[in-house]
Amino acid sequence: MLSPPQIERRRYGIRHDKHGNHLPDQFLRNSDGINIIKKATGIRIKHEYWAKISVIEPMTATLWTNGCANKGLTDRSIHGMQSWYERSPENYLALVLFWPINACIGDYADSSYVIDTVAVGFALLMLIRTVLARPSATDEQRTHAWEIVQAYGCTPLARFTLFEDKLYFFSTCGSMIAYILKGRAAITLGDPIGPSADFFNCIVEFKEFCGRNNWLPVFYQVLPDNLKAYDMAGFDAICIGHDAIVDLSTFTLAGRESKNIRNSFHKMIRLGYKTQVCDPPHPPSLMHELNQISDEWLSIRGGFEIGFSLGQLDEKYLNTCPIILVRDQDGRAEALANIIFQPNEAIIDLMRYRPGSKNGRMDYLFVSVLQWAKERGLATFNLGFSPFSGIGEEPHSSAIERALRFIHEHLACFPNFKGLHFFKEKFNPIWSPRYLIYPGLTSLPIVAISVMRAYKVNQLISRYLLQRK
């Protein structure tokens, strides 16, 4: 919870708190006019109340003074001004303040339409200012995020929180939340990272932080172990897919269940294919090969990177992790993947291959990387997130989960992830559910659109529609 000094810092409009969290200018409300009113009247105004109406303060104040001026300043006689003052002493203050304006512009009533329009326009600007203004993470915040991930990161998503597109929220007790802004939604990647004792407190503080910024807090791909904490904080949850996790202690190519991948693996060996694991830093010649594969791969997929929870072919990023390559009998690189490590677990992020290369190359790559991870003593290997897999199939599934399943299966323009799911199923993984945490049912449409924008689904749908034409 917030300490009294931190509450005071927020109350009096500090632009950044001591943890570096950005407080937009529109929330510096108590440091100006409201404090003047407090001191002049001696009235104690609750901070949270003003926070809720801060957006309409400019419009309310301007329209009120405009009405007073129209009523009082158009009365040309001293007697009229005296009678106006007698009806309401507060009007005298408006008369004194706006008398120079009246003297300069003459008939103030003629300008009322202009002033009302400006007031309403300014209020609308204040409403959308939190959407238009996009803060960015500082170097100090990124360094601090690295330190927290190094100390407390325990899932593969922890490394993805360090991508350049992320913003950071730091709790008062040392936890970190990485998020991006899409519309009004602040979408986090995974659960908060930090001391386990601070988990609930971090969620609550982030919810308050989003409320001050007029954002909707959304937690994406959270673990099932933490659902109770989100429920206590007032959030709802829906299952959005599963992670495919291979238990390396039991992984083997023997047996009937592994027949298909075993045949693919041995076929590629007979054709002269080999795998090569390259540890960072990577030489320019290797980066050139990677870029060639990536360019060919992107050319058949719209030519754009997705981001958010997926990496990009960036030299700085790839030089922090091993890369596994599949080479053909002539030594030409045909496929690549990079490997992210967390304690006792690893995950593949980028998976790219040249169009038209031999079938079975990705089976060969995955079997090779699983064997390599097993030799290194890792306990599990995460094959990654499989969106919409297994949702809405159980009798206790919610109506929303069943609706998501229907949309995924019946809308042709919606990305189809069934092929990805079936590919991972060949490795006999343990399917672990992942959840979307959102503020409530009324916010779900905005949240869904924001998540799709984070994954550039709108671009995928646009490309589909253009192809249909």
Question: Is it the case that residue 64 has pLDDT exceeding 80?
Answer: no
Question: Is it the case that residue 368 has pLDDT exceeding 50?
Answer: yes
pLDDT at 342: 79
Show the tokens assigned to 313. Answer: 């072919």
Of the segments 24-28, 127-131, 204-208, which one has the largest average pLDDT value?
204-208
Would you say 119 and 66 are in contact if contact means Cβ atoms under 8 Å apart?
Answer: yes
The lowest-confidence range among 96-100, 224-228, 322-326 is 96-100
pLDDT at 55: 45
3-class SS of residue 43: coil
Residue 70's pLDDT band (boundaries 50, 70, 90)?
Answer: low
Per-residue model confidence as pLDDT tens digits over 12-62: 334 455 555 554 433 333 334 444 444 444 444 333 333 444 445 555 555
Task: Catalogue the E-assigned strands of 183-215.
Answer: 185-189
Q: What is the chain's mean pLDDT, rounded?
A: 77
Per-residue model confidence as pLDDT tens digits over 72-118: 544 444 445 445 445 555 555 555 555 555 555 455 455 555 666 76
Of the segments 24-33, 134-143, 302-311, 416-425, which one has the largest average pLDDT value?
134-143
Which residues fall within 8 angstroms of residue 185, CB to CB, at 6 or more apart? 215, 216, 218, 446, 447, 450, 451
Per-residue model confidence as pLDDT tens digits over 429-466: 999 999 999 999 999 999 988 988 887 665 555 554 44
pLDDT at 394: 74
Which residues fall within 8 angstroms of residue 381, CB to CB, at 6 or more apart? 245, 246, 248, 251, 345, 346, 347, 369, 370, 373
Give, in degrees to the nearest 5, the angle at Cα 14 between 35 and 176. 140
Percent of the chain past pLDDT 90, that is, above it, reads 43
Per-residue model confidence as pLDDT tens digits over 330-340: 999 999 999 99
The lowest-confidence range among 2-11, 119-128, 133-142, 332-341 is 2-11
Question: Is it the case that residue 423 has pLDDT exceeding 50?
Answer: yes
Would you say 23 and 16 are in contact if contact means Cβ atoms under 8 Å apart?
Answer: yes
Which residues fall within 8 angstroms of residue 149, CB to CB, at 6 or more apart? 158, 159, 161, 162, 176, 193
Question: In the 8-state DSSP scheme, what is residue 47?
Answer: H
Distance CA 265, CA 349 (A): 21
The residue among 212 and 405 whose pLDDT is bigger is 212
pLDDT at 306: 74
Mean pLDDT of 289-313: 81
Question: Is it the case that residue 313 has pLDDT exceeding 70?
Answer: yes
pLDDT at 392: 78
Distance CA 344, CA 252 (A): 19
CA torsion through residues 419, 420, 425, 426, sign: positive
Question: Is it the case that residue 258 has pLDDT exceeding 70?
Answer: yes
pLDDT at 61: 56
Percent of the chain past pLDDT 70, that is, above it, reads 66
Show the tokens assigned to 178. Answer: 């990485």
Q: E strand or H helix at 167, and its extent?
A: strand 167-170
Of the segments 20-34, 197-211, 334-348, which one has the largest average pLDDT value?
197-211
Would you say 451 and 435 are in contact if contact means Cβ atoms under 8 Å apart?
Answer: no
User: Token match 């238990």: residue?
Assistant: 247
Question: Is it the case that residue 177 has pLDDT exceeding 90?
Answer: yes
Mean pLDDT of 189-204: 96
CA torsion through residues 275, 249, 385, 426, sign: positive
